[in-house]
Amino acid sequence: MTKRIGLLIVGHVDPKSTHIGGDYPELFSKLFAGHHLELVRYDLDLGAFPDRVNECDGWLCSPSRLSVYDDAPWIADAEALHREFIAREIPYVGVCFGHQLLAQALGAPVTRSAGGWGVGVQRYAVSRQETWMGAKAPEAFALLASHQDQVMELPADASLLFTAESGYCPIAGMTVGDRAWTIQAHPEFTAPLADHLLAGRIELIGTQRVAAARASLTQPIDQPLVARWIATFFEQT
């Protein structure tokens, strides 16, 4: 059975790089190709909020180039929406900004990391084995990262799900109850997209860090694995 999943748009891929794979609706649609998910777009950053939290079978929050602590007028409403997801146990997955937004909505601090940007291919240890991971979930996986902000503490009633093996991002994913989980990394990113974004951010991120991140892009990433996790989670809940 196909699940109808609301894709909460809270930001956009840099327009200079959308020729690689499109914006987030296109990237997530490609990520879930072959899975039984129908993505329904809601532009929260334009004020297009759902009328009811149960009008979709579940919700997926996109990344953003904004910070969750920015003064964009829609962020407070988005936080309230996320609290309602949790209160009513509506299935939810947050990616990057979506990870941080849920944490902030539940009272946890989100700030810039003293260690600077986390970029390129990163490996993450799995701290909890969940049923939607399948019977043989790996102890670690690799995905592309692109963030400077981090969740600094777990919210109350949350459990650590992923942590960066390098130590750069201790809270790289969390669960809240049985029907919400988040991930700091980008399962929707591809190496060509990451490379193009990095090439345009040398001044922002730093020459050496960008060079190391671009060199890491030859490493394999576990896109299909995490796509299956997300799809299975929505199918099971």
Domain locations along the chain = 3-236
Which pLDDT belongs to residue 170?
Answer: 98
Cβ proximity of 203 and 195 under 8 Å: no
Per-residue pLDDT of the chain (237 residues), as tens digits, is 899 999 999 999 999 999 999 999 999 999 999 999 999 999 999 999 999 999 999 999 999 999 999 999 999 999 999 999 999 999 999 999 999 999 999 999 999 999 999 999 999 999 999 999 998 889 999 999 999 999 999 999 999 999 999 999 999 999 999 999 999 999 999 999 999 999 999 999 999 999 999 999 999 999 999 999 999 999 999
How far apart are the C-alpha atoms of 41 and 182, rounded to whole Å? 19
Strand pairing report for 3-9 and 140-147: unpaired
Q: CA–CA separation, 112 vs 233, rounded Å?
A: 30
pLDDT for res 54? 96
Identify the CATH homologous superfamily for domain 3-236. Class I glutamine amidotransferase (GATase) domain (3.40.50.880)
Only one residue has tokens 């299956």, namely 228
Closest listed residue to residue 127, CA positions, set 170, 93, 160 = 160
The pTM assigned to this predicted structure is 0.97
CA 220 centroid distance within chain: 19
pLDDT computed for residue 22 by the predictor? 98
In contact, 69 and 157? CB cutoff 8 Å: no
pLDDT value, residue 112? 97
> Are the CB atoms for 168 and 158 separated by under 8 Å?
no
Strands 58-61 and 110-112, how do they pair? unpaired
Listed in sequence order, the residues at least 6 apart from 171 whose beta carbon sits closer than 8 Å to its beta carbon are 103, 150, 151, 152, 153, 154, 160, 163, 184
Distance CA 5, CA 231 (A): 10
